[in-house]
Structure 1
Amino acid sequence: MTQKSFAESCVLVTGGSRGIGAAVAQRFASAGFNIVIHYLHSHESANEVARACLAYGVNVLTISADLRSKEQIERMRDKLEQHQMLPDILVNNAGVAHYGLLQDLSEEDWDNVMNINLKGMFLCTQTFLPYMLQQKYGRIINVSSVWGISGASCEVAYSTAKGGVNAFTKALAKELAPSGVTVNAVAPGVVETAMNDPLQGEDRQMLQQEIPAGRFAQPDEIASLVYFIALPESSYITGQIISPNGGWIT
């Protein structure tokens, strides 16, 4: 197909009410893309991000759904279809972390980490992929983690889930390569978000010293990479796990 103009294109960002997701939504809005901001409970935060996106003169929709539920994701798709805002670009950003020893990890916590980070990505991709295949164009960008590449002590569930995101990305990219749909993952190092707020004091300082760049990433820096991968001219980039981590893990 002939690539749509940015003003005709739509980006769905899951977990778009804060952190990396909010930065991604605003980065695309600043370029003229229409934006769908998904959230679960953070209604006010989602509205705040929506207002920032609206300032760029684009169409913006906020929508709540539990990504652990196929039924709720399908309802989300129906609503987007009604508003003519099915995504040309899907950013699977929603995620949750868990810190603790494996021996203390409950089955419920394990399932929750897997269902939000991995199952939610699968269900969203499966639900919105037919529209991309129909138009023979699309971008699927999964937000992973450096721990999905190297693993992290006391974060076995999270590392496992993000490793699954990376494998999913590589396999689906090969499946979809002939269709005009690319699939990539961005696997950041430590980013200045609420997820990493517990890192304070000496622990924070020691971690920064381990990173050759000497600092944590800003959400805007991750958003810029996501935006680049989504551009039409990035069509030969697929199946890649790109890790912006300040030289920490190479």
Structure 2
Amino acid sequence: MSALDAFRLDGKVALVTGGSRGIGRAIADALRDAGAEVWVTSRTAEGAERAVRGTRLKGATCDVSDAAQVEALFERVGDVDVLVCAAGLSSAGRASEVSPGEMRRMHEIHVLGALACAQRAHASMKARGGGSILLVTSVWGLAGQPGTLPYGAAKAALAHSVKVLALEWARDGVRVNGLAPGFVETAMTAEVGEPVKEKLLSRVPLRRAAEPDEMAGPALLLCSPAGSYVTGHILVADGGERAR
């Protein structure tokens, strides 16, 4: 197999939670272009339908924080070879003002939701001889950032999960990796406002935000046979910010 052929996913089935928009959508498009049959999810039927209209993607409705919906999702999709957990929400606020409910909400979506999907995918992958799981975390889960406690703490837990799942599931042929984007131009990050955005980008050596498509290449590496000897790794794509 050539190096370029190793990025192909012909005949594989991929599921991207949160794949209806933003980073998840960019990754879903890349997996599709690599030859996979790709399912994407949205929390609403309208969002799922809109995401796949005029494309070769398949859509499904799922709130990953609801275990029953996760089970129904996998019953519909069937066996998967690649799982990308990109579903999530943002949350901002000073630590002194954060409520237990907000901490719980972020944990349920980013950590418990991803874990439920990963556990379900692992069972299928183990029975079929292996597969690849990618958890989309964040650089804010790797280092402290004021005003991001609920979101950052959840992403930190997700980053830890990458390591543990990779160690436990390697024997089953299931690779588990993480992708930690920096500041990416999405509808979710648009909520921070220009002053905060400018401050954040001032610390980025490349001096700009990333586009969602710039997360697709790193994700494809980790999901495809090109990354067959990579597991337990968190690939940071942050424009050089963590190099400081």
* Identical residues among aligned pairs (%): 32
- Supply the distance in 2 between the matched residues of 1:45 and 1:66 (Cα, whole angstroms): 12
Q: Using the TM superposition, give the Cα deviation of residue 179 of structure 1 relative to its aligned residue in structure 2, in angstroms.
A: 1.9
Q: 1:37 aligns with which of 32, 37, 40?
A: 40
Taking a change above 3 Å as real, the CA distance of residues 235 and 246 of structure 1, as seen in their structure-2 partners, is same
Q: How does 1:83-162 map to 2 (within 5 A)?
A: 86-162=79-155
Counterpart of 1:176, as a letter, is W
SS in 1 for 2:237: coil
Matches of 1:65 and 1:33, distance apart in 2: 21
The answer to whether 1:224 aligns with 2:226 is no
Q: Do residues 166 (structure 1) and 159 (structure 2) align?
A: yes
Give the alignment's TM-score, normalised by structure 2: 0.92
Q: Is the 8 A contact 2:9 2:31 kept in 1?
A: no
For 1:212, the equivalent position in structure 2 comes to: 205
Structure 1 residue corresponding to 2:73, chosen from 76, 84, 87: 76
Contact 2:82 2:223 in 1 (8 A): yes
Q: 1:7 to 1:235 in 2, by over 3 A?
A: closer
Deviations 1:48-101 (A, max 9, x none): 4323541xxxxx3211112112111111111112xxxx2100001111121001
In 2, Cα distance between the equivalents of 1:52 and 1:240?
A: 35
Aligned-pair CA distance for 1:40: 0.3
1:45 is displaced (CA, Å) by 4.1
Shift of 1:44: 4.0
Give the SS at the match of 1:141.
Answer: strand
Equivalent residues, number? 237
Which residue, out of 1, 10, 18, partners 2:13? 10
- When normalised by structure 1's length, the TM-score is 0.89
- Structure 1 unmatched runs, 5+: 55-59
Give 3-state SS (helix, strand or coil) of 1:142's partner.
strand
Moved more, 183-192 or 233-242: 233-242
Q: Secondary structure at the match of 1:67?
A: coil
Is it true that 1:67 corresponds to 2:64 in the alignment?
A: yes
Show the counterpart of 2:30. 27
Q: CA deviation at 1:236?
A: 0.8
Partner in structure 2 of residue 240 of structure 1: 233
> Which letter maps to 2:235?
I
Structure 2 alignment gaps of length 5 or more: 1-5
